[in-house]
Structure 1
Amino acid sequence: MDLILTGLPVRDAVRTSILSKKWRYKWVSIPDIYFEEDCLMKDESKPDHVNDVDQVLSHHVGPICKFSCLCYVPTGSHFDRWIDILSMNGIKKLILEMMLFEEYYDVSPSVFNCQQLCHLELIYCILEVPPTFKGFHNLSVLVLTEVSISAEAIAFLISKCPLLETLKLLTKTCPAFHIHAPNLRYLELDGDFHFLSIGSCPHLTNMSLDYWFRLGYSGYTYLEGSDFLQFIECSLAIERLALRGTVLEFLCDGSIPKKLSATYDHLKCLEFEIRVNSDEILVILCILRSAPNLEELKIRYFTVAKTRFDLSEEYGEFWGAVTQFDCLLSHLRTVEIFGLAMLLDLEFIGCILSNAPVLETMKVYTNENVKNEDVPRLLDELMHFQRASTAEIKYMGHCYI
């Protein structure tokens, strides 16, 4: 019974009290409390559901292991009250999407009293770390989405989480980022950073970088492409690397080495978003030359112009005539191509096919704007490329990104 109640949203769990006298008070001791997003909506026609959270927490008996609440509230005092209660009930997993009316919630300092936290996820808020903070000594997962936090605060917070394994920082308000987390295994960054550096993270195996910027825009970014490469090069144990947004374009802002300064023997999976741009191809070649054991490759073609959906060759010289593909992909087994739209895109794909002797499968998704009558020509060109293996090429239809 307890297992069933734990798997239900809290409203449904409370409703079970009318089904049986034995069940009447079962819900008051469930350790996991989840308020669904539609439970507390920003809708004046609905009653004030904030009281529902108050009632559940005030009647609860025993420890609260997990608490998740995604809602709108009129004032931050509601969240303050809930966090105070949770901090005294041994909370281990806390997820709060804190939407006030027209502003971010300034997180109560009481959250730092939740010493048993293993998982903390905050969305849409302001977070200030008190200088007296002693640390989250059990925290292994930290997710900050659209959280306003200073560079000093995030560095201090991370330094006080010795068991941190997963870090997701998705924000546009943290201009600088330095990380020193000896146990970190997964890192996801999405923002407009002026400065990036990485200290000792010997166990970091999975990294995703999603970065948006405008070159030449004064005051917008002070980070150079070479700095970004150095940031990647500090993660020698990396097994999965994803480069999204305008990361590749950014890396082209400066000299591009033929290879990285070290060989990434552990890198098994590489994912990137790319424009039809020879400079961006050079960055990819640089990484491929430095990853001899790559097994999985995911390519997402980044579309910004209508000309991209044209099948003619007049929009640019084939990148293969500009650069030389000299990467032997000896261990590559699977490739996924998303957003294929131009014949120009095929040259890189052809080079992969001719240099991957153990390739098993290549899945191809065309851009949603490609006309159905143009698809056969794209596929026909693709099928005519020389292959170093008996790889199966599968057309999966349009992708909608």
Structure 2
Amino acid sequence: MKAKCSSSSDLISGLPQNIIESILCMVSTRDAVKTSILSKNWRYSWTRIPELLFMDFMLIKSKDKQQEEEDEENTKKEELTRKYEVFNAINQVLSKHQGSILEFALFMHIYDECVEIDQIITYLSRKNTVKKLTLSLEGYPSLYKLHSSFFSLNQLTYISLRHCILDHQPTVNGFGQLTSLFLDCVVSSKELFLHVVSKSPLLKSFTMININTSDDDGYSHIFSHAFICELFGYMPVIEQLHLESSYEYFRQFDSYLPMIPTPLLHLKYVHLDESFFMGNGLPFAVSLIRSSPNMEKLKLEGYKKH
């Protein structure tokens, strides 16, 4: 029996390093760090994995019911403690990480300005190896303003941003390697947005959900049908398109619809919500279909009526 246990232990310890790293890439970063206790060969293997995933609820120790009730009496203190624990865990991982980071994902709630995220983005920009970046941040109406170093991540092929602000002058070089852009509840100026898209000539997948711009009165809706048509002029190889907006956008679209500037020859999949194909949106949808001779799938999604 002892020999059998020893054999199992040797089997885990004897795995090739590339197999170990492949296994670690399939679990959360927290669980990957825990594998240090398995054996001597596993102890520092997690420091070389190229994919890092952080979710705030996974980084904080679970609390019992009594503790949760006590925390409710002092919400602000709990938020600060939670924030400290999350970023302390992330910083420990980053400080010990070796080699290239190809994918970085952060899912968390924010309650105020997060200079800690600025530091993470700056760290990643200095390494400049990240190809896939996901920032999914909750806490609306609090939005995270992306640090300027974000625009130095010129190796990115995939960007996913949720509840973020892009607020810099459009002097960035853009993302020459970018093939997929996902934006949900993002605030940006029209000039910067156009600049980023125009400097991403390889863009194949584009998702835009509830995009706003900022003005003196707060946030306002940024996209008209005319502006979207202008964007199409900078997407020569677009293959997948997803446009979605809240219902109040519907009345603000232009009554006059300009022509889509160029045929979307590569476009195969389109997903539109009813703001883009009902009422004033119908001419836009028809124009989009006519400009996409190779479209294979069209998904039209309506709002649920209660």
TM-score in same-fold range (> 0.5): yes
Pick closer, same or farther for the CA change 1:233–1:137 going to 2, 3 Å. Answer: closer
Q: Structure 1 residue 241 and structure 2 residue 270: aligned?
A: yes
Q: Which residue of 2 aligns with 1:118?
A: 157
1:240–1:268: 8 Å Cα contact kept in structure 2? Answer: yes
Matches within 5 A, 1:258-269: 265-269=293-297
Mapped to 1, the partners of 2:140 and 2:272 lie a distance apart of: 35
Q: Which residue of 2 aligns with 1:6?
A: 25
Mapped to 2, the partners of 1:102 and 1:79 lie a distance apart of: 18
Mapped to 1, the partners of 2:142 and 2:122 lie a distance apart of: 21
Please identify which structure carries the higher helix content.
Answer: 2
Q: Which stretches of structure 1, 4 residues or more, deviate above 6 A after TM superposition?
A: none
1:126–1:147: 8 Å Cα contact kept in structure 2? Answer: yes
Q: How far off is 1:207 after superposition?
A: 3.2
Matches within 5 A, 1:13-24: 13-24=32-43
Q: Which residue of 2 aligns with 1:346?
A: none
Secondary structure of the equivalent of 2:88? helix
Q: Structure 1 residue 83 and structure 2 residue 121: aligned?
A: yes
Mapped to 2, the partners of 1:203 and 1:98 lie a distance apart of: 29
Mapped to 2, the partners of 1:19 and 1:124 lie a distance apart of: 38
2:103–2:133: 8 Å Cα contact kept in structure 1? Answer: yes
Secondary structure of the equivalent of 1:12? helix
Pick closer, same or farther for the CA change 1:193–1:27 going to 2, 3 Å. Answer: same
Unaligned runs of 5+ in 1: 176-190, 275-301, 306-401
Unaligned runs of 5+ in 2: 1-19, 61-74, 215-220
Q: Structure 1 residue 109 and structure 2 residue 152: aligned?
A: no
Larger Rg: 1
Highest RCO, 1 vs 2 (Cα 8 Å, sep ≥ 6): 2
Q: How far off is 1:222 after superposition?
A: 4.5
Matches within 5 A, 1:114-263: 114-174=153-213, 193-194=223-224, 195-196=226-227, 197=229, 198-199=232-233, 201-213=235-247, 221-224=252-255, 227=257, 230-231=259-260, 234-235=263-264, 238-251=267-280
Q: Structure 1 residue 272 and structure 2 residue 306: aligned?
A: no
Matches within 5 A, 1:281-320: 304=305
2:53–2:104: 8 Å Cα contact kept in structure 1? Answer: yes
TM-score by length of 1: 0.55
Mapped to 1, the partners of 2:281 and 2:183 lie a distance apart of: 29
Q: How far off is 1:236 after superposition?
A: 5.5
Q: Structure 1 residue 49 and structure 2 residue 68: aligned?
A: no
What percent of counterpart residues are identical? 28
| Equivalent residue letter for 1:51 | N
2:276–2:282: 8 Å Cα contact kept in structure 1? Answer: no
Equivalent residues, number: 257
